[in-house]
Amino acid sequence: MNDRSERQHWMGVLARTSSHDLDRLWRTAGIAAEYRHLRPPEVGSVMVRGRTGASGAAFNLGEMTVTRCTLRLADGTVGHGYVQGRGKAHAEQAALVDALMQGPKAALMRARILSPLAEAEAARRHARAAKAAATKVDFFTMVRGED
């Protein structure tokens, strides 16, 4: 993975995780960082767009509430956090993890926060896929003899 796709991956994991899981891992990690807000957590909305069949013309599906936060560490590193919903603490923690992942604490953050969150996300996806697979119906056509 290059730096950009790696960052997209961890920001996606942070955005999709629950605020409870992120907060629990943050508290147990025991990591402290001095920072100041460039943009304090703020709630807004974004327009979600969709495509029919993933290839048709784009249309406005609806609005979604998001919370964003931008902060700067004492060393000048800037972190961003965007999360679905109104979780200001979630957005702030996501921005803090993003900033710390760009510095010397990246390995520690990956081991104590990002890897457990990614594993939990993979387990949730697997459980959802297994539940959907259990309801799968296979249809077949019998030869009717009219040919």
Read off the pLDDT of residues 85-139 as tens digits, 9 standing for 90 and up.
999 999 999 999 999 999 999 999 999 999 999 999 988 889 888 888 888 887 7
Read off the pLDDT of residues 29-54 as tens digits, 9 standing for 90 and up.
888 899 999 999 999 999 999 988 87
Q: How many other C-beta atoms lie within 10 A of the C-beta of residue 13? A: 20
Instruction: Answer with the residue of higher pLDDT: 76 or 147.
Output: 76
15 contacts: CB under 8 Å, gap ≥ 6:
81, 82, 83, 84, 94
2 contacts: CB under 8 Å, gap ≥ 6:
none
Q: What is the pLDDT of residue 44?
A: 97
Q: Give whole-number Cα distances, 26 to 18, 22, 143, in Å.
A: 12, 6, 61
Taking the model in full, what pTM does it have?
0.82
The answer to whether the beta carbons of residues 68 and 39 sit under 8 Å apart is yes
